Amino acid sequence: MSVRRIVPNIRTSTGPGAEPDADTTTAVAAAIKRNAEFYGLLGLQEVMNHGWVMTLASASHPSAQISIMEADATAPVTPDMSLEVEDVDAAYTAMQEGGAEIVYPLHDEEWGVRRFFVRDPNGRVINVLGHR
């Protein structure tokens, strides 16, 4: 199994359990902007932004990344980490056969990734993905 990159997912501080309304959307956008500015001081640049999730990367080492989000837009939980693999279908099969708890089944997302969520032995939710 080949891992391409590992990205920590940092939750914004807009408040747990907030209902998605205009005020929440504005708060998430402001939190994402604050994080972009803060991590920008450390040399990270925005490489992806879907409004609910933004990924920042190092210009000199593009695989050094972090993602900022309040909540996942399509899954029932927000992952703690994203792990991009070469073959997401093989990873899914390996997790199922290994008896791992699948939190979000294998799914093709509209933004061009195929992914699933699995719970690790520490209780952390891992977003395992591949780009289509």
What pLDDT is stored for residue 24 in this prediction?
Answer: 65
The two counts, helices (H) then strands (E), for the chain are 2, 8
Query: φ, ψ for residue 49 (rounded to 5)?
Result: -150, 115
One digit per residue, pLDDT tens: the chain, 132 residues? 788 888 888 888 654 444 445 566 788 788 888 899 999 999 999 999 988 889 999 999 998 999 998 888 889 899 999 999 999 999 999 999 999 999 999 999 998 999 999 999 999 999 999 998
Residue 132: which of 86, 96, 90 has the closest Cα? Answer: 86
What pLDDT is stored for residue 95 in this prediction?
Answer: 97
- Give the span between the Cα atoms of 132 and 115, in whole angstroms: 10
- Give the span between the Cα atoms of 111 and 15, in whole angstroms: 26
